[in-house]
Copies of this chain bind each other. A is one copy, B any other.
Amino acid sequence: MRERQKPVVAEPAESVSGLSSEFLESFKAAMDLCQTDEVQRQAETLHPADLADLLEALPSEKREDLVDLLRQDLNPAMIAELDEAVLERVVNQLSAQEMADAVAEMETDDAVDVVEELGEKDRRDVLDALPIGERTLIEEGLSYPEDSAGRLMQRNVMALPAHWNVGQAIDFMREEEDLPRDFFDVFLVNPTHKPIGSIPLSRVIRTERRVALSDLMLEDMKIIPGTLDQEEVAFVFRQRDLVSAPVVDAGGRLIGVITVDDIVDVIHEEHEEDIMRLGGVGEEDDLYSAVIATTRSRFFWLLIHLLAAIVASYVISFFAGTIEEMVALAVLMPIVATMGGTASVQALTVAVRAIAMRELTVSNALRAVCKEIIVGMLNGLLFALLIGAVAWSWFGSPALGGVIGMAIVINLTVAGFSGSALPVLLQRLGFDPAVASSAFLTSITDVVGFYVFLGLAAFLLL
C-alpha cells in the first residue's frame, strides 16, 4: 500500500534513492556508543521503507537491539516493508500480541502479505490475537490460493452506484469516513454489486457536478477474478497500463481492488524467481538467509548437476582406450562441452524470457525452435572453422581439426534445439520453464559433445 500520510521534514539521512552509506556508518557508530536517544530520534525521522532497509542492512545483533529500542511503537508500515528473511527474525523477537497490534493497523493487502509469510504457529497465534473483524478479512484473503489476486487485494474499494452523478459522488467521498486511504479509479456497480465500469479519478474531478457517472464510465475494463494467478494479474496491469483494477468473487461481485504498487512488487518477485531458478538457487536463498540454510538449499541443485556430470563421465569412460592412444582428445574435449553448454543457455535464456513476456506460445513454438536450430548450426559452422584451425595448428593434425569441427557443428545444433524446445515442453507440461532446464541442458550438451567428439575420433582417427 502507499504510505505517505506522515509529512516529514528534510531527510539528510538519504540520497534520492535509498539510505546513504554515510548515514549507515554514522547510525552504526551511534549504536556502538549506545546513544539511544540519538538512535531513536534518527530512526523516527526515517520513512518506514527506509527504516525497513536500515533494519535489513544491520548485522543481526544490532538489528535486535534496534527492534528492542523501537518496540514501544513499531511502525506497522515498516513491518510490511521488510524482506521475508528479516521479517521472520523480527517476528521471533516480538510477542504475538505486539504483531497482532501492528497487523491490525495495516490495510488488508499488507496484513495478508505479512501474515502469509509467517510460519504456521506464528500465523495462528497472531490471528488469534487479532480483533474478530480484521481477523475475518485476513482469513478471507488467506482462503485464496497463494500468489492469487485474492491475496493481493485491498478490501476497501471505492464503489458507487451507476445511477449517481458527479456531484453525488463528490459529496459521498467528502462525507464517508471509511474509504481507502488513497484511490485512483472509481468503480461503478449495479444493484447486485457487480462492477460495470470504471472512471479514473482525474476525470471525475474535471467534470461538472450534474454529469451522470455513467456518461464518464469506461466499459472496457479488466475485471480480475480473485483466483487469478498474480503473474497473470501483473501481465494485465503492464499490458493495459493500469493503476488499479477491480477484483470479483466467483459470483462476479466486487470484493476488492488491486493497486499498481502491489503489482510492482509482484513483477519483482516473478523476475527474481526466474533469475534464481535460471541460476540454480532457491527462492529463499538471499543475502539474509543463514549459512546452513543457504548450504542446504544449494546442495540439492549441485547434486542434480553432479548426477548430470557423472553421466557425462560415464560417456567418456567408453572411450578410455581412445584417449590413452591420443591424449589430445582429453585436452580438447572440454572445449566441445563448453561451447555446447554456452549456446544452449543462450537459447534457454531467450526462450524463458519470451515465455514470461507471453511472446512464445504454442502457436509460434515451432518457428522459434527452427530459428534456434539454424542459429546453432550457423554459429556451429563458424566455430568449427575457428576451433578446427586451432586444433590443427596446436596438434599438427588436420584430421583432428576436422573431427572437432564436426563435433562442434553437431553440438551447437543440438544446443539450439534443446535450449529452445525444452523450456517450451516444460511450460506445456505445467512446469516452470526456468527450473531445472539449465542442469538438463548442460547435461545434454556435455553428453552429446563428449560422445560425438570422442566417437568420431575413435571412428575416424584411430
Does A237 lie within 8 Å of B264, measured CB to CB? yes
In the complex, the chain B residue whose C-beta lies closest to that of A355 is B287
12 A-B pairs with CB atoms under 8 Å apart are A4-B240, A7-B220, A11-B220, A16-B222, A50-B239, A275-B352, A280-B342, A281-B349, A287-B364, A295-B378, A309-B335, A327-B330
Contacts A17-B239, A238-B265, A313-B334 supplied; 6 other A-B pairs, CB < 8 Å: A16-B222, A17-B228, A183-B202, A264-B267, A275-B349, A279-B349
A395 to chain B, nearest CB (A): 9
Chain A contact residues, majority secondary structure: helix
Q: Name the B residues within 8 Å of A1 (CB-CB).
A: 241
Give which listed residue, B16, B21, B331, contacts A317 with CB less than 8 A.
Answer: B331
Stretch at the interface among A31-39, A68-76, A133-141, A383-391: A383-391
Report B-chain residues with C-beta under 8 Å of the C-beta of A29: none
Contacts of A5 in B (CB 8 A): 218
Asked whether any CB of chain B lies closer than 8 Å to the CB of A159, the reply is no
Alpha-carbon distance between A368 and B285 when the two chains are bound, in angstroms = 13
Which 4 A-B pairs rank lowest in CB-CB distance, beginning with the nearest? A279-B349, A241-B261, A271-B271, A330-B330
- In the complex, the answer to whether B368 meets A287 with C-beta atoms within 8 Å is yes
Cβ B378 vs Cβ A291 within 8 A: yes
Which B residues lie within 8 Å of A57 (CB)?
Answer: 359, 361, 363-364
Give the interface segment out of A91-99, A111-119, A123-131, A205-213.
A205-213
Q: A279-B346, A354-B287 are in contact. Are A21 and B235 (CB under 8 A)?
A: no
Interface residue from B8, B267, B281, B316 paired with A346 (Cβ < 8 Å): B281
Q: Which of A187-195, A250-258, A298-306, A425-433 contacts B (4 or more CB under 8 A)?
A: A298-306
Complex interface bits, A287-319 against B, C-beta within 8 A gives 1, otherwise 0: 110011011001101100110111011001100
Which residue of chain B has the shortest Cβ distance to A264 in the bound complex?
B238
Decide: B21 and A362 in contact? CB cutoff 8 A. Answer: yes
Supposing A345-B279, A364-B57 touch, asked if A47 and B338 sit within 8 A by C-beta, the answer is no
Interface residues of A in 316-360 (CB under 8 A from B): 316-317, 320-321, 323-324, 327-328, 330-335, 337-339, 342-343, 345-346, 348-350, 352-354, 358-360
A379 contacts across to B, CB distance below 8 A: 295, 298-299, 302
Bound form: Cα–Cα A220–B217 in Å: 33
| Copies held by the complex | 2
In the complex, whether A402 has a CB less than 8 A from a CB of chain B is no
A349-B280, A390-B310 given as contacts; is B335 within 8 A of A302 (CB)? no
B4 x A200 contact (CB < 8 A): yes
Cβ-defined contact, B24 with A363, below 8 A: yes
Identify A361's interface contact among B21, B232, B339, B439, CB under 8 A.
B21
**Interface contact A309-B334, CB-CB below 8 Å:** yes
By the criterion CB–CB under 8 Å, are A346 and B280 in contact?
Answer: yes
Query: B286 contacts A261, CB within 8 Å?
Result: no
A302: contacting residue among B6, B25, B383, CB under 8 A? B383
CA distance A364 to B265 in the complex (A): 24
A243 at the interface (CB under 8 A from B): yes
| CB atoms of B276 and A353 under 8 A apart | yes
Residue among A47, A228, A350 with the highest chain B CB neighbour number at 10 A? A350
Q: Within 8 Å CB of A450, what residues of B?
A: 334
A413 within 8 A of B: no
| Cross-chain contact A243 with B241 (CB below 8 angstroms) | no
Cβ of A53 within 8 Å of any chain B Cβ, yes or no, is: yes
Minimum CB–CB distance for A259 against chain B, Å? 8
Which residues does chain B contribute within 8 Å of A9, judged by CB atoms?
A: 219
